[in-house]
Amino acid sequence: MAVNYGVCPHFAPIFAPVIATGAYRLRAMEPEDVTLLYDWENRSEEWWCGAQLAPLSRAALMRFVRAEQDVWQAGAVRLMLQHGDETVAALDLYDLNIRHRRAGVGVVVAADQRQKGHGTAGLRLLAAYAFQHLELHQLYAEIPAGHAESAALFEAAGYAPCATLPEWIRVGGQWRDVLLVRLACENEIRNGID
């Protein structure tokens, strides 16, 4: 499938392996994604995993999708994961630190698309983008203690535990620990990108 990378054709071959592999590709958000994002971001039963405290409007999500900011200036980027013609996940790089060359990682996979390998494929493509294009040194994720699905997902993508942050998040009136996992550039190169 031919993909328009939105850059000079001479550079497309350089970026092609970074943002696409097999049936998967990472792409920028488009206005058509607002409906998916509205559904995913407003699932209040999953808010405890992140920082969201209130529902997001379609108008707010449209402004978010249409914002054209430099990745480094914004300190974050959200990319959509496509499998064939279907958008199956959103992946975030946040807390981008240009000096220390690292970023946090977030991922949300459509509820009906979980346990199908999409999250792992997306995390691997995101790592390729982060390490090869943004030249980051490491990625990290914060996983709420006891969230086995997230721990397994990041482990499958090559992330390794590096710390436990005690009483880091508050869920249902109780403090919970967070497992900090990281993926260093040399680990990604050694493990390879499928």
Question: What are the residue ranges spanned by the domains of the chain?
Answer: 12-137
Instruction: For residue 47, give Cα distances in angstroms to 55, 70, 79, 99, 107.
Output: 10, 27, 20, 30, 13
Residue 154's pLDDT is what?
A: 96
pLDDT digits (tens, 9 = 90+) for 50-68: 555 667 676 776 676 667 6
With pLDDT > 90 as the criterion, what percentage of the chain qualifies? 49
Q: What is the pLDDT of residues 66-107, one digit of tens each?
A: 676 666 677 788 899 999 999 999 999 999 998 999 999 999
CA distance to 87, 107, 123, 181, per residue, from 150 (Å): 20, 9, 12, 11
CA-to-CA distance for 94 and 76, rounded, in angstroms?
A: 4
Query: Could you confirm whether domain 12-137 is CATH 3.40.630.30?
Result: yes
Q: What tokens appear for 192 in the block? A: 């390879």
The region of weakest confidence among 46-60, 122-136, 151-165 is 46-60
Say what the pTM is: 0.79
**Residues 161-165, mean pLDDT to the nearest whole number:** 96
Whole-number Å distance between alpha carbons of 176 and 66 = 35
Q: What does the H/E/C string look like for 6-71?
A: CCCCCCHHHHHHHHEECCEEEEECCHHHHHHHHHHHCCHHHHHHCCCCCCCCHHHHHHHHHCCCCH
Place of tokens 């943004």: 134
What pLDDT is recorded for position 32? 87
For residues 145 and 91, what is the distance between their CA atoms, to the nearest angstrom? Answer: 21
CB neighbourhood size of 52 (10 A): 14
Q: Is the pLDDT of residue 5 over 70?
A: no
Residues 116-127: what's their mean pLDDT? Answer: 95
Q: For residues 81 and 28, what is the distance between their CA atoms, to the nearest angstrom?
A: 9
